[in-house]
């Protein structure tokens, strides 16, 4: 088992480096001149050339790639944003807590409520409870996220005044963003939980347990739930990866300067240090989460654990 983990950790480093190289190359090849974007329409060619030299983008590709890899992985320096002259690492460090303040509670909320709803729907399949839940999840998934957000703002902030409408002044300003981010994911989780519960309900070992006379509640808890958990865990892991990337839409509607907004503006301005820094960070985070998820699989499903120990 430990050998497996060590192997995964090594491959994690390789992944992160590969992700860095890929995104660096993509940004290098993307059309758009960062010098002109920064200096505006009025800049003349010689000023643009000086700017490109300062940014270091007039060097050959290999040299730039080499410098990037050296700085990022050996000196842990993501560089300085071209757009705003602020160090990328510093900005990420400041913005990450805000994104996590939205992302983690939102994920917990969506998993808990979503799974509960899903199991409820599955155990009442075909009846009113099931239909009601499914309709609700449908609405939540298809309503545009900024629409739901604005509706909530109008109701809870403007009309009732319970929470502030935008900004990050107080902890209360995070309440609405958390709820709005959680809703669509909650819907997906609910559907996923319902579907895998249904699958399990019809499985043979459940029939066996029932025919042996086991109580319903026990069946649900001890037999159905762990087996239904696998796709849910995949969903949770996927959601966790997205948590750190943030949602540019929610962040822009609520004016929260988080990581999502940072990355989006980086792409719009062809700001390579920002984009590469963010992506390398996401890659690292994603790899760790995926490793944990695979370990969870092994823990939950003895059949898989057996495969890993070979």
Residues 212-271 that bind another protein (CB under 8 A): 230-231, 234, 238, 241, 245, 248, 252-257, 261-264, 267-270
Count of residues of this chain found to bind another protein when the rule CB under 8 A is applied: 121
With CB under 8 A as the contact rule, which of the stretches 57-65, 68-76, 100-108, 165-173 interacts with another protein? 165-173
Cβ 179 vs Cβ 109: under 8 Å: yes
Question: At closest approach, how far in Å is the CB of 244 from another protein?
Answer: 10
**One character per residue 41-70, x = contact with another protein (rule: CB under 8 A):** xxxxx-x--xx-xx----------------
With CB under 8 A as the contact rule, which of the stretches 58-66, 68-76, 100-108, 141-149 interacts with another protein? 141-149
Residues 276-305 that bind another protein (CB under 8 A): 278-279, 282-283, 286-287, 290, 297, 301, 303-304
Q: Binding another protein by CB under 8 A: which of 104, 143, 163, 206?
A: 143
Distance CA 98, CA 88 (A): 16
Q: Binding another protein by CB under 8 A: which of 22, 93, 218, 292?
A: 22
Rank residues 104 and 233 by Cβ distance to another protein and give the closer one. Answer: 233
Question: At closest approach, how far in Å is the CB of 208 from another protein?
Answer: 14
Interface with another protein, residue 28, by CB under 8 A = no
Cβ 269 vs Cβ 37: under 8 Å: yes
Question: At closest approach, how far in Å is the CB of 123 from another protein?
Answer: 8
Tokens found for residue 249: 């839409």
Question: At closest approach, how far in Å is the CB of 1 from another protein?
Answer: 16
Alpha helices in 30-84 (DSSP H): 34-39, 45-55, 61-69
For 219, the 3-state DSSP assignment is helix
Cβ 188 vs Cβ 161: under 8 Å: no
Q: Where are the beta strands (DSSP E) in 157-277?
A: none
Closest CA to 249 of 93, 109, 143, 92: 143
Neighbours of 260 (CB within 10 A): 25
Residues 80-139 that bind another protein (CB under 8 A): 83-86, 91, 94-95, 113, 116-117, 119-120, 124, 126, 129, 131-136, 138-139
Distance CA 72, CA 236 (A): 29
Instruction: Identify the burial level of 307 via C-beta atoms within 10 angstroms of its C-beta, where 0-12 means exposed, 13-18 middle and 19 or more buried.
Output: exposed
Interface with another protein, residue 15, by CB under 8 A = yes
Distance CA 231, CA 243 (A): 18
């Amino acid at each position: 088992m430990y050998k497996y983990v060590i192997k995964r950790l090594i491959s994690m480093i390789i992944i992160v480096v590969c992700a860095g190289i890929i995104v660096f190359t993509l940004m290098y090849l993307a059309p758009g001149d960062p010098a002109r974007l920064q200096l505006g329409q009025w800049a003349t060619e010689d000023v643009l050339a000086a700017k490109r030299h300062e940014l270091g983008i007039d060097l050959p590709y290999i040299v730039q790639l080499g410098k990037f890899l050296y700085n990022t992985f050996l000196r842990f320096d993501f560089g300085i944003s071209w757009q705003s002259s602020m160090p990328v690492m510093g900005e990420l460090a400041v913005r990450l807590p805000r994104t996590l303040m939205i992302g983690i509670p939102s994920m917990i909320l969506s998993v808990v409520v979503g799974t509960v709803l899903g199991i409820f729907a599955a155990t009442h399949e075909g009846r009113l409870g099931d239909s009601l839940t499914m309709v609700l999840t449908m609405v939540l998934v298809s309503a545009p996220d900024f629409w739901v957000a604005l509706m909530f703002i109008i109701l809870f902030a403007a009309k009732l005044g319970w929470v502030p409408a935008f900004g990050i002044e107080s902890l209360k300003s995070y309440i609405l963003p958390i709820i709005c981010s959680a809703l669509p994911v909650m819907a997906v989780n609910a559907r996923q939980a319902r579907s895998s519960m249904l699958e399990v309900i019809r499985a043979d070992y459940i029939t066996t347990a029932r025919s042996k006379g086991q109580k319903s509640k026990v069946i649900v808890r001890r037999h159905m739930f762990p087996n239904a958990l696998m796709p849910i865990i995949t969903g949770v892991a996927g959601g966790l990866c997205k948590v750190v990337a943030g949602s540019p839409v929610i962040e822009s509607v609520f004016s929260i300067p988080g990581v999502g907004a940072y990355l989006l503006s980086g792409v719009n301005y062809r700001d390579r240090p920002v984009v590469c820094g963010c992506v390398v960070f996401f890659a690292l985070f994603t790899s760790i989460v995926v490793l944990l998820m695979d370990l969870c699989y092994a823990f939950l499903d003895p059949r898989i654990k057996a495969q890993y120990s070979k």
